[in-house]
Copies of this chain bind each other. A is one copy, B any other.
Amino acid sequence: MVKDWSEWYQEVVQKAGLAEHAPVRGCMTIKPYGWAIWELMRDQLDTAFKASGHQNAYFPLFIPLSFLAKEAQHVEGFAQECAVVTHYRIKTDPETRAVAPDPEAELEEPLVVRPTSETIIWNTFREWIQSYRDLPLLINQWANVVRWEKRPRLFLRTTEFLWQEGHTAHATAEEALEEARRMLNIYADFAENVLAIPVFKGRKTPSERFAGAVETFTIETLLVDGKALQAGTSHFLGQNFAKAFDVRFLTPENKLEYVWATSWGVSTRLIGALILSHGDEKGLILPPRVAPIQVVIIPVWKKDEERSRTTEKAHVLSQMLREKGLRVKVDDDPHHRPGWKFNEWELRGVPVRLVVGPRDLEAGTVEVAFRHTGEKRTVAEGELLTEILSWLEGIQQALYERAKTRIERQTHRVEDYATMRELLESEGGFIVAHWDGTAETEAAIKAETGATIRCIPLAWEPEPGRCIYTGRPSEGRVLFAKAY
């Protein structure tokens, strides 16, 4: 069993070749294996966005400082973490050869590297939207963003990260709210069905809302270490940005009205969530739908003449599996022994391992090992070929179920504050408790325990009770946790 998940995380991210810290503080380099996971996530999300009527576009990296300032809450929310471009040229000192920003090339107005793009996009939407016939406008962009990070953690919190940000404009509040909920559902489906990560769908409390939002919806999960993670958010922005950037449309009745907005995003932190949802002491465990390699085939041999035959067989099998649409790798590297390879691909979380040895050649068999259970057995080639897709499907499902059971075990319905504190101190997890609905109580609990209200789950029924902290009346329970 893993004792220190924090240490485990660092080690796995590094050893599995997912990412590493870059020389610029807070930034990361995403290595090929990590990038391949991101590509699989991106492509599947992108397909879902397009299927629900969204179009991709691309807006500039730089935002004039004055734009950011137009929505008061927004600038306040991001001011502490903005990278600012002040010069557009550098200069080498002819004597010392030192390089520095050229003082003669200072920008009149500094530019912020986008921490999110509401402001630049709504400035653009003003030109794109004239009448009700231009609505809804359903735009998404895939981009890098920068939020200066004081306590960086690979994938989970980095100064630069990659994400998608959807920005939509609607004629009515109802339609915008419906869109915000639609995207929350798309995120939840993606998390559960693709990443095998169970999530709670909920609303954020006012103090946890996105800066500039009227309502923030979120999907929240709990990781193996007992910490919660916000895995994606979808915001109903009301008319805040439309008013800040004067975006109005002509209704069918020829009246000018402000547009209603949403924005929503998920990022490379999902890779962190993935790692900390399914790992074990051997390393990563990847759900098949986001595994860059779904099946690794390792030929083994003792004598030289066996080597070419098992290797050839491995490639034949690989070809047959590829024709089924699978992502397959043959590891026939002669520099490493089978045992080394077994460890390596277990560390990297490949769902299925096949081993082809000399005896398998005659028997027409192959040894199958499942990463998530460790189970091994020898099967006929025919069975492999007919069953592999359903095995992978089964693994996908099993990982989801296992994570769900774990989260249920880590979720505690608590009635008194002492127990809540104790649980948060010892094992963490979700605390399901009553709250009186005030920001003061929320802040006091956060200050005393480090836990925040992750969300008010949408599925929960109202349930009158007493606030766990103040004893005042509560309309229902909320989800507390310490979070990344």
Most buried by B among A63, A127, A146: A146
B85 close to A79 (CB less than 8 A):
no
Question: Bound complex: CA of A82 vs CA of B99, how far in Å?
Answer: 12
Which residues in B have their C-beta under 8 angstroms from that of A35? 55-58
Q: Which of chain A's residues 240-257 have a Cβ closer than 8 Å to chain B?
A: none
Q: Which residues of B contact A378 (CB under 8 A)?
A: none
Residues 7 to 30 of chain A near chain B (Cβ within 8 Å): 20, 22-24, 27-30
B67 touches A23 (CB 8 A): yes
A81 within 8 A of B: yes
Let me know if A376 is at the binding interface, CB within 8 A.
no
Answer whether residue A101 sits at the interface, using C-beta atoms and an 8 A cutoff: yes
Main secondary structure of the interface of A (DSSP, over half): mixed
Q: Which residues of B contact A79 (CB under 8 A)?
A: 89-92, 99
Say whether, besides A65-B99, A84-B101, A39 and B27 are in contact (CB < 8 Å): no
Whether the Cβ atoms of B335 and A61 lie closer than 8 Å is no
Cross-chain contact of A84 among B31, B55, B87, B92 (Cβ < 8 A): B87
Evaluate contact between B90 and A112: CB separation under 8 angstroms: yes
Task: Report if A185 contacts B (CB, 8 A).
Answer: no
Are the C-beta atoms of A88 and B82 separated by less than 8 Å? yes
Write out the residue numbers on chain B whose beta carbons fall within 8 Å of the beta carbon of A101: 84, 86, 110
CA distance A148 to B143 in the complex (A): 20
Flag if B62 contacts A90 (CB, 8 Å): no
- Point out which of A59, A97, A139 has the most chain B C-beta atoms below 10 A from its C-beta: A59
> Known: A68-B99, A92-B75, A113-B85. Is A144-B29 also a contact (CB below 8 A)?
no
Give A61 to B162 CA distance when docked, in angstroms: 11
Task: Using known A-B contacts A62-B27, A64-B23, A99-B66, determine if residue A57 contacts B84 with beta carbons closer than 8 Å.
Answer: no
Within 8 A of B (CB), among A264-308: none
A464 at the interface (CB under 8 A from B): no
CB distance from A98 to the nearest CB of B (A): 8
Q: Which of B65, B97, B120 contacts A100 (CB 8 A)?
A: B65
A111 contacts the other chain (Cβ, under 8 Å)? yes
Chain B residues in 8 Å Cβ range of A99: 65-66, 68-69, 75, 79
Chain A contacts with B in 139-190, Cβ cutoff 8 A: 139, 143-144, 146, 148, 160, 162
C-alpha spacing A31/B58, complex, angstroms? 7
A39: chain B residues at CB < 8 Å are: 56
| B110 touching A60, Cβ below 8 Å | no
Q: Known: A22-B120, A112-B90, A124-B29. Contact between A146 and B61, CB under 8 A? A: yes
Does B60 lie within 8 Å of A32, measured CB to CB?
no
Contacts of A88 in B (CB 8 A): 81-84, 148
Q: Is A76 an interface residue (CB 8 A)?
A: yes
**Interface residue? A130 (CB, 8 A):** no
Given contacts A92-B79, A120-B22, A160-B62, contact A57 B86 (CB under 8 A): no
With contacts A32-B139, A58-B30 taken as known, whether A86 is within 8 angstroms of B87 at the C-beta atoms is yes
Q: Find the residue from A31, A39, A88, A111 having the highest chain B CB count within 10 A.
A: A88
User: CB of A80 within 8 A of chain B?
Assistant: yes
| A23/B120 contact (C-beta < 8 A), A29-B58, A69-B99 known | yes
A36, CB-defined interface residue at 8 Å: yes
- Please indicate the chain B residues that have their CB under 8 angstroms from the CB of A61 in the complex: 27, 113, 144, 146, 160
Residue A133 CB within 8 A of the other chain: yes
Query: In the assembled complex, which residues on chain B have CB atoms less than 8 Å from the CB atom of A38?
Result: 58
Q: How far is the CB of A56 from chain B (nearest CB, A)?
A: 5
Q: A84-B101, A101-B110 are in contact. Are A60 and B28 (CB under 8 A)?
A: yes
Task: Specify which of B27, B60, B86 is in contact with A160 (CB 8 Å cutoff).
Answer: B60
* A29-B59, A61-B144 known; A89+B85 contact, CB < 8 A: no
Closest 8 CB pairs of A and B: A27-B60, A32-B55, A30-B58, A84-B87, A69-B99, A88-B148, A22-B60, A84-B101
A interface residues, Cβ below 8 angstroms from B = 20, 22-24, 27-32, 35-36, 38-39, 55-69, 75-76, 79-92, 97-101, 110-113, 120, 123-124, 127, 133, 139, 143-144, 146, 148, 160, 162, 335
